[in-house]
Amino acid sequence: MLEPTRELWEQQNRLVGDRTGLFDAISDAVHVSTALYPGSYVDITPSFTWPSVTYVDVDRRAERFFADEAGVGELLVEHGVDPDLHAVRFIQADYTDDLDIRDGSFDLLVSLYAGFISEHCTRHLRHGGFLLVNPSHGDAAAASLNAQYRLHGVVVSRAGRYSVRTDALDTYLVSKRDVELTLELLHKTGRGVAYTKSPFAYLFERVA
C-alpha cells in the first residue's frame, strides 16, 4: 500500500468514524448488490458490505487513493473482504455532470454530507431501489419533496449501533417551523431542516 493511501484512509476514518455498522444495518433491512456513492472522497466502507460499489468524487486526492488498487485491496482484506469478489470502481468527476453510468443500474444511492445528490443522481437508481440520505445539506428534505421517492425507513443510532426502523414513519419529516418547504429554499440555505424527530439518516424507496 502506498503511504498516501494509508494516510488518507486513516484521516477519513478519524474524521467520520467507521461506517461499517451503518451500511451493515442497511444491508439487513433491504436487498443491495450494487451501490453508487457520489461525493465519497476516500470512504470505501460500503465495499466492506456490498460486492459492487461505484464511487464518484471530483477531488484529485480521491482519484490517487482509488488508483492504488493494491492498497485499496489491502484495506478490504483488513476488513475481512476478498478483493477478488468485490468490484470497486471510481469515477473522477463532479456528480452534477453527466456520468458514464447507465440509468437505473444501482440498488442503492448513498448521499452523505455531499449536497443535493438525489437531485442529480436519482436517474441512476433503479425503480424499487433505495436512497440512503442523512439530514446534512438539505438532501433528505429535497428527497421528501420528490414524488419519485417514498419514505421506507429511518436509521437510528444508539450507543454506536445502527438499525433501520419502519414503524410510525408519518411522525418523521415534520418541520419544527411553520414554513413552506421548497427546493428553492433548500438551495438558498444549503442546509438541512430542523425536524421534530432527528434520526441519523433516512431510507427512501424510488417508486417512480
Rounded Cα distance, 195 and 185, in Å: 16
CB atoms within 10 A of CB 147: 7
Tell me: pLDDT of 206 over 80: yes
The boundaries of the domain holding residue 58 are 3-206
For 45-99, the pLDDT digits (tens) are 999 999 999 999 999 999 999 999 999 999 999 999 999 999 999 999 999 999 9
Tell me: pLDDT of 24 over 90: yes
Where does the pLDDT of residue 136 fall: very low under 50, low under 70, confident under 90, or very high at 90 and above?
A: confident
Output the pTM of the full model: 0.96
Where does the pLDDT of residue 16 fall: very low under 50, low under 70, confident under 90, or very high at 90 and above?
A: low
Tell me: pLDDT of 17 over 70: no
Query: Into how many domains does the chain fold?
Result: 1
User: Quick one: pLDDT at residue 126?
Assistant: 98
Mean pLDDT, rounded, for 170-195 = 89
- In 35-115, which ranges are continuous DSSP H helix? 60-67, 69-78
* Residues ≥6 apart with Cβ < 8 Å to 17: none
Mean pLDDT score of the chain:
95
* Residues ≥6 apart with Cβ < 8 Å to 179: 185
User: For residue 94, what is the domain's CATH number?
Assistant: 3.40.50.150
CA dist 173 → 21, 58, 107, 182 (Å):
24, 31, 23, 14
